[in-house]
Structure 1
Amino acid sequence: MLSRVAESLFWMSRYVERAENTARFLDVNFNLLLDLNRITPTENPDCWIALTVATSDPEKFESLYGEYSARSVTDYLVFNRSNSNSIISCIGLARENARSIIESISSEMWEQINNLYHLLQTMRPENVQNDPFSFYREIKNASHLFQGITDNTMARSQGWDFIQVAKYLERADNVTRLIDVKYHMLTPQTSREENGLISSVDIIQWMAVLKSCSALEAFKKVHLSRIKPENILEFLILDKTFPRSIHFSIGAAKEALWRLSGNSTQKNLSNSDRLIGKMEAELSYTTVEDIMERGLHDYLGDIKQRLQKAGEQLHLVYFAYHTPEIEPQDESKALPFTGVAGGRANWSQAQQQQQQQFSLRKNRARNNA
C-alpha cells in the first residue's frame, strides 16, 4: 500500500472519531446543565471551560471569544473553521482525505462521509441552539453508521488496519483528556458536604463523565453499588472489555499495528509496535490504587505523551518519506507531531500540511472558476 493512501485512511478515521467525541461531549454537557437546573450559560462557565480544555486549545478560544458560554463554545467547537478540532473542520478534512483515496474505500463509505459533510454545510448556529440534542444525535449516528459501513464493506487488509489504529489511538487520547479535566474539577466538590446536596450533584456529574464515554449502562452492569470516582476511574482506564476504555483502545491499536507489521510473534518489533505493546502490558498489571498513589494527573499525562510518541513513530515507520543518508541523527528533529502546548495535541504538522494543501486546492478552484 502507498504511504499516501495509508496516511489518508489514518486521518480520515481519526477525524471522524474526533468529530463524534466532540459531539458527544457537547450533547452530554447540555443534558448535564438541564439535570443540574443551571442552563443559564453565565451562571456556570466552568462546565464550558472543561470542554475547550478537553477537546481543543483554550488559549485560542479566549483570543477569539473572551467569555465561556453555551453560544460561544458551541460556535467554536462546531462551526469555527479556524479551529482544526471543530466538528465542521474534522468532517471536512475527513471528506478530503476520503476523496483523495476514493478508489481505496467503498462507495458506501464515500457516500456516508459526503452526505454528512453536506448536511453540516446546511446547518447554522441557530439550528443547533434551537435543538442541540437532535443535531448532536445526528452527528453521532452518522459516525456510527460510517464505522459500521467500514467494518462491513472493507476487506480486512492493511487499509482496514490503518483505520483501526487511528480510531483507537484517537479514542484513547479523548478519554484520557476527559478524565484528566473532569476528575480535577469534581474532586474539590466531592470533598465538601452541605446537607447531602453536594453528594447528589456529584453523582449527576460523575454519571455525565460516564455518558461522555457512552459508558453509563456498561458501568452499571459491572458496578452495581453506588457510583464512586474510584470505580469509574478503574472502568474507564483499566477495563479490558469495554470498547471505549483506555486499556481496550490501546490493546486494539496494538493488535492492528502488529497485523500491519506482521509481528504477531513479537520478533523484530518496530518502535511504534514496542511503545504500544509496552503500554498495553503495563495497563494489564496496573490497579487503580497504583494510579492514585502515583497521582492521576501525572499518570494520565504520561499516557498522553506516550500516545503522542507512538503516533510519531507510526508516522516515521509508515507515512514519512525516508532518505536514510540525510536523516538527522537527533530523532526528535525528524518527528512531525509536535502537538499544542497546554491544549489538545493536533499530532501534526501532517494535519497542518493537509489543511494547507486543501486550502490551496479550493483557492485554485475558485480562481479557475
Structure 2
Amino acid sequence: MLSRVAESLFWMSRYFERAENTARFLDVNFNLLLDLNKITHVENPSYWVALILVTSDKERFNSLYDEYSAHTVTDYLVFNKNNPNSITSCIGLARENARSIIESISSEMWEQVNNLYHYLQSVTPQFVHNDPYGFYKEIKNASHLFQGITDNTFSHNEGWDFIQIAKYLERTDNIARLIDVKYHMLLSEAQSQPELVEGSEDIIQWMAVLKSCSALEAFRKVYLSKIDPDNILRFLILDRSFPRSINFSVCAAEDALWRISGSSRHRYVNNADRLIGKLEAKLSYTAIEDIFATGLHRYLEDLEQRLVKVGEQVHLTYFAYHTPEIESTDIEEALPFTGIAGGRPNWSQAQQHQQQQ
C-alpha cells in the first residue's frame, strides 16, 4: 500500500472520530446543565471551560472570545474554521483526505463523508442552539454509520488496519483528556462545597462523565452499587471489555499495528509496535491504587505523552518520505505531528494543502 493512501486513510478516520467525540462532549454538557438547573442555579462558566480544556485550545479560544458561554463555546467547537478541532473543520479535513483517495475507498464511504460535510454547511448556529440534542445526535449517528459502512464495504486489509489504529488512538486520547479535566473540576468543587459530595449534583456530574463516553449503562451492568468515582475511573481506564475504555482502545490499536508489521508478543518489528506494546503491558498490570499512588493527573499526562510518541513512530515508520529514525531524540523537532506547544495532533497532508491555497 502506498504511504500516501495509508496516511489519508489514517487521518480520515482520526478526524471523524474527533468530530464524534466533540459532539458527544457538547451534547452531554447541555444535558448536564439542564439536569443541574433542577437542583441548583447554574451560572458557572467552568462547565464550559472544561470543553475547551479537553481540546487544549484555551489560548486560541481566549484570543477569539471574551467569555465562556453556551454560544461562544458552541461556535468555537462546532463552526469556527480557524479551530482545526471544530466539528466543521474535522469533517472538512476528513472529506479532503477521503477525496484524495476516492479510488481506494468504497463509494458508500465517500457518500457518507460527503453527506455529513454538506449537512454541516447547511446548519446555522441558531439551529444548533434551538435543538442541540437533535444536531449532536445527527453527528454521532453519522459517525456510527460511517464506521459501520467502512466495516462492511471496505476490505479488511492493511488500509482497514490503519483506519482502526487512527480511531483507537484518537479515542484513547479523548477519553484521557476528558477524565483528567472532568475529574479535577469535580474534585475542586467537592473541596469547596463538601456538602455536595454525596448530593444529587455530584452524582449527576459523575454520570455525565460516563455519558460522555457512552458508558453509563455498561458501567451499571458491571458495578451495581451507587455511582462511585473510583469505580468510574477503574471502568474507563482499565476495563478490557468496554470499547470506549482506554485499555480496550490501546489493545485494539496494538492488534491493528501488529497485523500490519507481523509483530508478536515476544518480537517487535519497529518502534511503533514496541511503544504500543509497552503501553498495553503497563495498563494490563496496573491497578487503580497504582494510579492514585502516582497521581491521576500525572498518570494521564504520561499516558497522553506515550500516545503522542506512538503516533509519531507510526508516522515515521509508514508515512514519512524519508528513512525513519530508529528513535527520535527530540520529539518536537522530529515532525510536526504534535501540533503547536504540545497541543492535540492535527497534522495532515490535507491540512497543509488547504493552508497553502
Gaps in structure 1 of 5+ consecutive residues: 364-369
Does the CA contact (< 8 Å) of 2:79 and 2:88 recur in 1? Answer: yes
* C-alpha distance 329-172 of structure 1, shift in aligned 2 (>3 A): closer
Q: How many residues align structurally?
A: 355
- Which residue number corresponds to residue 49 of structure 2? 49
Give the C-alpha shift of residue 55 in structure 1. Answer: 2.2
Aligned equivalent of 2:140: 140
Q: Report the TM-score, using the length of structure 1 for normalisation.
A: 0.91
Shift of 1:40: 11
CA contact (8 A) 1:218 1:242 kept: yes
Asked if the contact 1:189/1:202 (under 8 Å) is kept, the reply is no
Q: Which AA in structure 1 matches 2:101?
A: I
The answer to whether the Cα contact below 8 Å between 1:189 and 1:198 also exists between their aligned partners in 2 is no
Q: Quick one: percent identity of the two aligned structures?
A: 69
Aligned to 1:298: 298
1:357 aligns with 2:353: yes
- Return the alpha-carbon distance in structure 2 between the equivalents of residues 224 and 201 of structure 1: 20
Rounded to whole Å, the distance in 2 between the matches of 1:258 and 1:123 is 41
**Match for residue 120 of structure 1?**
120
Superposed, which structure 2 residues align to 1:335-354 within 5 Å? 335-341=335-341, 344-345=343-344, 347-348=345-346, 350-351=347-348, 353-354=349-350
Conservation of the 8 A alpha-carbon contact between 2:19 and 2:86 = yes
The equivalent residue for 1:193 is: 194
What is the CA-CA distance between 1:188 and the residue it aligns to?
Answer: 2.6
Kindly provide the CA deviation profile for residues 22-73 of structure 1, in whole angstroms up to 9, marking residues without a partner as x: 0000000000000000899981200000000102401100110021000000
The SS at the match of 2:341 is coil
Q: Which residue of 2 aligns with 1:151?
A: 151
Residue 336 of structure 1: how far off its partner (Å): 2.9
| Alignment partners' CA distance in 2, 1:100 and 1:158 | 18
CA contact (8 A) 1:20 1:139 kept: yes
8 Å CA contact 2:239–2:248 kept in 1: the answer is yes
Is this contact kept in 2: 1:13–1:167, CA < 8 A? Answer: yes
Alignment of 1:324-335 (within 5 A): 330=329, 332=331, 333-335=333-335
Structure 2 vs 1, CA of residues 303 and 330 (structure 1 numbering), >3 Å: closer, same or farther? closer
Correspondence for 1:175? 175
CA gap 1:216/1:330 in 2 versus in 1, 3 angstroms: closer
The separation in 1 between residues aligned to 2:355 and 2:9, in whole angstroms, is 19
Determine the C-alpha separation between the residues in 1 that align with 2:48 and 2:95.
28
SS at match of 1:227: coil
Contact 2:236 2:244 (8 Å CA) reproduced: yes
The whole-number CA distance in structure 2 between the counterparts of 1:329 and 1:47 is: 38
Name the SS for the 1:322 alignment partner. coil
Match of 1:281 in 2: 281
**Kept in 2: contact 1:327–1:334 (CA 8 A):** no
Measured at CA, do residues 244 and 329 of structure 1 come closer, stay the same or move farther in structure 2, by a change above 3 Å? closer
Moved more, 266-275 or 234-243: 266-275
After TM superposition, the structure 1 = structure 2 runs for residues 244-263 of structure 1, keeping only pairs within 5 Å, are: 244-263=244-263
CA contact (8 A) 2:250 2:280 kept: yes
Give the residue type in structure 2 aligned to 1:2: L
Cα distance, 1:205–1:40 mapped onto 2, change above 3 Å: closer
Hey, what's the Cα distance between the residues in 1 that align with 2:253 and 2:40?
41
The residue aligned with 1:90 is 90
Q: For residues 131 and 56 of structure 1, do their structure 2 counterparts lie closer, same or farther at Cα, with a shift above 3 Å needed?
A: farther
| C-alpha displacement of 1:268 | 4.2
Amino acid at match of 1:193: P
SS of structure 1 residue aligned to 2:336: coil
Asked if the contact 1:5/1:101 (under 8 Å) is kept, the reply is yes
Once the 2 structures are TM-superposed, how far is the Cα of residue 322 of structure 1 from its aligned partner? 1.0
Q: Is the 8 A contact 2:36 2:42 kept in 1?
A: no
Deviates more, 1:183-192 or 1:149-158: 183-192
Which position in structure 1 is the counterpart of 2:317? 317
Structure 1 match to 2:3: 3
Alpha-carbon separation, structure 1, partners of 2:116 and 2:72: 23
SS at match of 2:338: coil
Give the Å deviation of 1:328: 11
Runs of 4+ in 1 over 2 A off after TM superposition: 38-42, 188-194, 196-199, 264-269, 326-336, 338-342
State the Cα deviation string for residues 218-257 of structure 1 (Å, max 9, x = none).
0000000011100000000000000000000000000000
- Shift of the 270–328 alpha-carbon distance from structure 1 to 2, 3 Å rule, reads closer
Q: TM-score, length-normalised on structure 2?
A: 0.94
Asked if structure 1 preserves the Cα contact closer than 8 Å seen for 2:33 and 2:42, the reply is no
1:202 aligns with 2:198: no
Question: Does the CA contact (< 8 Å) of 1:27 and 1:132 recur in 2?
Answer: yes
